[in-house]
């Protein structure tokens, strides 16, 4: 394989080029609780990803409550051996906590003392890093019958002995090791099967998810979320139906619909729910010329877990054109709506609407905007379909679309409190200019942006913690932040919400009023969701701190990442605990060094700029942002001398910098180098340089 096709490169580019950064009411509805946590006066633990099949992420523990949370302090902390993003939900069972760190490593700790019991490193090939849109993250393990299950970045599903950490079995979940698949999500256990999907829609893969036998790792069934092509072959009946919604396309690649995160299960209805990702490529006219809904991209699927047969589907964004995934967290609950007890499924996907569905039939109950949205005016109650405004169309030029591909809400888990009846989640107001023309993808401005905005009153670019009433579809309260990339949520019976943010703060909030009752400075940005558990009569709250994800989302803020080392930590709190020590501050970076004498013409530098955005910026950032990995303007002369060996041959692969010989010719690599040198020279003496 020489270079990635132009279209794939376009998609890569879109991932990294977010260049535009631009009445409350009290809940009063009866809520039927659906907690399945076992009653115990001694130990109440966090046994599964969403704290039960319904994935509500509500803890009925109330030792820590709104009156005493001011005394919250550190019980213990543990070094996660990482400098990048941490997204895992800790699982706690029988006094042991299981977490995942970067590169799909698993760590088991004593949940009371923090002592490390064992660690398992699947030794993911570092070259896999370039196949990831959004950092070398993992969102956690599943625990079942004495085994720990997790997926690896390079697509393996692994079962370990929970007491020793020894390998029990390992299977390859990928249908192709040449396509750029990955696993970052946590598996779920349903009826003796491990359910796992994968990521990669940004790289034009075909989505699917699979069920493996928990004991043997043998494949039980597999559900493809999109057809292999309009004409098949269709591996299962549902794809015949799906194929009707796709156009013939001689350039068919992938299709997308990857199931990279959200899974839930209703034992009573014996129904498995899986959320699917965006279409690939993003642009629908390119993906399916002439139109079509493109099932089952951006959809919620309800299946029989025995055989993977589809019961119903609800497509959240038909004909997705904007990376609007439906892989966001799904919560199952029983709510009284207009006097009727309803079994609902709730989701706040990237597209900006909060959906409440009947989870038995897939019927839309309600959907309302929770941030500024301009691509659709509303969701039609009769058809269940969005009514597009046309403001999201970019077939003939540019469109300034809200929400952006970062999502009005992304993977960060929500929490549903059966005490308050509210759903708590991390959201953001942010738009993005989509432009059909390839040479416009990188531009910071569109000449006629005012024309795109028209008479809209655009919101400020902000992040939020929202408390949402799913019955009335109204905001109860929100916390606002200048940072758009913050943590997941936990609610507890102590009338509390716990939440960490990108500024490196951990907050305890009154779940009813939204008042911040306690703020603990961690010094490390949080994107992960907290959990709570109780052992020997002591309630704990745990969260992983480690800033990361797609570099475009770290463009804003990331103060903690700027000031302090981003050394990943697992922090556990209890009442009357100790103080949190701030991490080491970063050594001063000094001035950008004098650059090597590399001469290139303007055309080469422009080519280098395009290639930099396509291949480098996802991790190394857009200049002026807060990159997770080294700012290349600071490269030493020594590294510049072996630039080609690093960039193409993978000389630094053991450190996580893959070789790009498959993507970049020597000439391309030189153009990138010339662009970096030009950027550095431009920054020397400017406010960007320190
Ligand atoms: Ca995506």
| Residue keyed to tokens 């949190």 | 580
User: Residue 565: what pLDDT?
Assistant: 81
Q: Residue range 374-386: average pLDDT? A: 98
User: Residue 9: what pLDDT?
Assistant: 38
The candidate with the shortest Cα–Cα distance to 143, out of 48, 267, 262, is 48
The candidate with the shortest Cα–Cα distance to 195, out of 208, 182, 209, 184, is 209
Helix-strand-coil percent breakdown of the chain, rounded to 5?
15, 30, 55
User: Residue 439: what pLDDT?
Assistant: 52
Q: Residue range 297-323: average pLDDT? A: 98
φ/ψ of residue 146, rounded to 5:
80, 10
Angle, CA 256 vertex, CA 250 and CA 260 arms, to 5°: 165
The C-alpha atoms of residue 420 and residue 509 are separated, in whole angstroms, by 13
Q: How far is the CA of 208 from the centre of ligand 1 (A)?
A: 15
- Indicate if the pLDDT at residue 210 is higher than 50: yes
Please report which confidence band the pLDDT of residue 445 belongs to, taking 50, 70 and 90 as the band edges: low
Q: Residue range 348-354: average pLDDT? A: 98
Quick: pLDDT tens for 132-163.
989 999 999 999 999 999 999 999 999 999 99
Q: Residue range 500-508: average pLDDT? A: 94
The candidate with the shortest Cα–Cα distance to 52, out of 274, 247, 330, 244, is 330
User: Residue 627: what pLDDT?
Assistant: 64
| Residue keyed to tokens 């928990």 | 214
Catalytically annotated residues: 323
Q: How far is the CA of 217 from the centre of ligand 1 (A)?
A: 28
User: Residue 30: what pLDDT?
Assistant: 38
Structural domains for the chain:
6-575 (2.140.10.10), 602-689 (1.10.760.10)
Higher pLDDT, 459 or 13: 459
The candidate with the shortest Cα–Cα distance to 25, out of 475, 358, 329, is 475
Segment among 12-21, 272-281, 409-418 with least mean pLDDT:
12-21
Q: In what order do the strands lie in the sheet with 538-545?
A: 72-79, 569-575, 538-545, 531-535
Bridge pairing between strands 462-469 and 423-429: antiparallel
Q: Is residue 219 classed as helix, strand or coil in its secondary structure?
A: strand
Cβ atoms of 313 and 301 closer than 8 Å: yes
Segment among 37-46, 387-396, 405-414, 459-468 with least mean pLDDT:
37-46
The C-alpha atoms of residue 492 and residue 51 are separated, in whole angstroms, by 12
Please report which confidence band the pLDDT of residue 552 belongs to, taking 50, 70 and 90 as the band edges: low
- Indicate if the pLDDT at residue 556 is higher than 80: no
Q: Residue range 231-254: average pLDDT? A: 93
Q: Which two tokens stand for residue 32?
A: 């039927």
User: Residue 549: what pLDDT?
Assistant: 84
Q: How many other CB atoms sit within 10 Å of the CB of residue 520?
A: 18
- Indicate if the pLDDT at residue 2 is higher than 90: no
- Indicate if the pLDDT at residue 414 is higher than 90: yes
User: Residue 209: what pLDDT?
Assistant: 98
Q: What is the mean pLDDT of the chain?
A: 89
User: Residue 29: what pLDDT?
Assistant: 38
Report the DSSP beta bridge partners of residue 141. Answer: none
Q: How far is the CA of 350 from the centre of ligand 1 (A)?
A: 10
The candidate with the shortest Cα–Cα distance to 473, out of 375, 358, 371, 355, is 355
User: Residue 561: what pLDDT?
Assistant: 66
Q: How far is the CA of 321 from the centre of ligand 1 (A)?
A: 11
Q: Where are the alpha helices (DSSP H) in 512-636?
A: 559-563, 602-615, 617-620
The C-alpha atoms of residue 12 and residue 6 are separated, in whole angstroms, by 10
User: Residue 441: what pLDDT?
Assistant: 53
Quick: pLDDT tens for 98-138.
999 999 999 999 999 999 999 999 999 998 988 998 999 99
Residue 354's contacts (CB-CB under 8 Å, 6 or more residues apart) are 346, 347, 348, 367, 368, 369, 370, 423, 468, 470, 473
Q: Residue range 317-343: average pLDDT? A: 97
Q: Residue range 49-65: average pLDDT? A: 97
Cβ atoms of 106 and 88 closer than 8 Å: no
Residue-by-residue DSSP string for 20-32: -----------EE
User: Residue 546: what pLDDT?
Assistant: 93
The C-alpha atoms of residue 617 and residue 665 are separated, in whole angstroms, by 18
- Indicate if the pLDDT at residue 347 is higher than 80: yes
Segment among 103-107, 201-205, 245-249, 613-617 with least mean pLDDT:
613-617
Q: How far is the CA of 28 from the centre of ligand 1 (A)?
A: 37
Q: How far is the CA of 205 from the centre of ligand 1 (A)?
A: 11
Q: Where are the beta strands (DSSP E) in 192-234?
A: 193-196, 208-213, 219-224
Cβ atoms of 35 and 60 closer than 8 Å: yes
For the ranges 36-45, 124-133, 427-436, 523-532, the one whose mean pLDDT is highest: 523-532
User: Residue 438: what pLDDT?
Assistant: 56
The candidate with the shortest Cα–Cα distance to 671, out of 616, 606, 580, 613, is 606
Quick: pLDDT tens for 609-659.
889 888 888 788 776 565 677 889 999 999 999 999 999 999 999 888 999
Q: How far is the CA of 233 from the centre of ligand 1 (A)?
A: 25
- Indicate if the pLDDT at residue 34 is higher than 50: no
């Amino acid at each position: 394989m020489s270079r990635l096709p132009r279209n794939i490169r376009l998609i890569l580019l879109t991932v990294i080029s977010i260049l535009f950064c631009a009445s409350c009411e009290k809940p009063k509805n009866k809520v039927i609780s659906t907690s399945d946590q076992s009653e115990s006066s001694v130990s109440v633990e966090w046994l599964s990803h969403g704290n039960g099949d319904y994935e509500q992420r509500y803890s009925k523990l109330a030792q820590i409550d709104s009156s005493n949370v001011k005394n919250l302090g550190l019980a213990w902390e543990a070094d996660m051996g990482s400098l990048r993003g941490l997204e895992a939900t800790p699982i706690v069972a029988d006094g042991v906590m299981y977490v995942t760190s970067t590169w799909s490593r698993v760590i088991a700790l004593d949940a009371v003392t923090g002592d490390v019991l064992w660690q398992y490193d699947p030794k993911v090939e570092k070259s896999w890093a370039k196949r990831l849109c959004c950092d070398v993250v993992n969102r956690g393990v599943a625990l079942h019958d004495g085994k720990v299950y997790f997926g690896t970045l390079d697509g393996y599903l692994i079962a370990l002995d929970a007491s020793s950490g020894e390998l029990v079995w390992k299977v390859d979940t990928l249908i192709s090791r040449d396509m750029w698949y990955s696993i970052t999500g946590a598996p779920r256990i349903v009826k003796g099967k491990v359910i796992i999907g994968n990521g990669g829609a940004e790289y034009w893969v075909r989505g699917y998810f699979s069920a493996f036998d928990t004991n043997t790792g043998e494949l039980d069934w597999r559900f493809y979320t999109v057809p292999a092509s309009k004409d098949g072959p269709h591996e299962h009946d549902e794809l015949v139906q799906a194929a009707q919604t796709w156009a013939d396309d001689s350039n068919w690649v992938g299709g997308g619909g990857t199931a990279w995160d959200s899974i839930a299960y209703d034992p009573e209805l014996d129904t498995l729910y899986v959320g699917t990702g965006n279409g690939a490529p993003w642009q629908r006219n390119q993906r399916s010329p002439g139109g079509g809904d493109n099932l089952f991209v951006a959809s919620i699927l309800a299946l029989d877990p025995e055989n993977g047969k589809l019961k119903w589907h609800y497509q959240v964004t038909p004909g997705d054109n904007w990376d609007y995934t439906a892989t966001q967290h799904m919560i199952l609950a029983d709510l009284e709506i207009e006097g009727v007890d309803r079994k609902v499924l709730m989701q706040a996907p990237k597209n900006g609407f909060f959906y409440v569905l009947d989870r038995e039939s897939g019927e839309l109950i309600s959907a309302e905007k929770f941030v500024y949205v301009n691509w659709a005016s509303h969701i039609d109650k009769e058809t269940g379909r969005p009514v597009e405004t046309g403001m999201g169309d970019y077939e003939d030029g540019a469109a300034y679309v809200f929400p952006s591909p970062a999502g009005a809400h992304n993977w960060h888990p929500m929490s549903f409190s059966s005490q308050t009846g509210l759903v708590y989640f991390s959201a953001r107001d942010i738009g993005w200019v989509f432009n059909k023309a390839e040479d416009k993808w990188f531009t910071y401005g569109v000449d006629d942006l005012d024309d795109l905005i028209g008479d809209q009153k655009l919101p400020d670019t902000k992040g939020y913690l929202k408390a949402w009433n799913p019955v009335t579809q109204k905001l109860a309260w929100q916390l606002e932040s200048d940072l758009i990339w913050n943590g997941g949520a936990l609610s507890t019976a102590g009338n509390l919400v716990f939440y960490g943010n990108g500024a490196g703060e951990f907050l305890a909030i009154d779940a009813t009023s939204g008042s911040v009752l306690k703020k603990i400075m961690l010094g490390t940005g949080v994107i992960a969701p907290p959990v709570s558990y109780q052992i020997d009569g002591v309630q704990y709250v745990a969260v992983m701190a480690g800033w990361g994800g797609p570099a475009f989302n770290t463009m804003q803020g990331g103060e903690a990442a700027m000031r302090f080392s981003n050394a990943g930590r697992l922090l556990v709190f209890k009442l009357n605990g100790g103080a949190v020590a701030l991490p080491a501050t970063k050594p001063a970076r000094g001035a950008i060094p004098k650059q090597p004498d590399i001469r290139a013409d303007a055309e080469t530098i422009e080519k280098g700029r395009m290639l930099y955005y396509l291949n480098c910026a996802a991790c190394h950032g857009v200049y002026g942002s807060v990159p997770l990995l080294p700012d290349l303007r600071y490269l030493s002369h020594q590294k510049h001398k072996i630039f080609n060996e690093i960039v193409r041959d993978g000389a630094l692969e053991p450190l996580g910098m893959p070789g790009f010989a498959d993507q970049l010719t020597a000439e391309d690599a030189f153009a990138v180098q010339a662009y970096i040198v030009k950027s550095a020279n431009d920054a020397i003496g400017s406010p960007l340089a320190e």
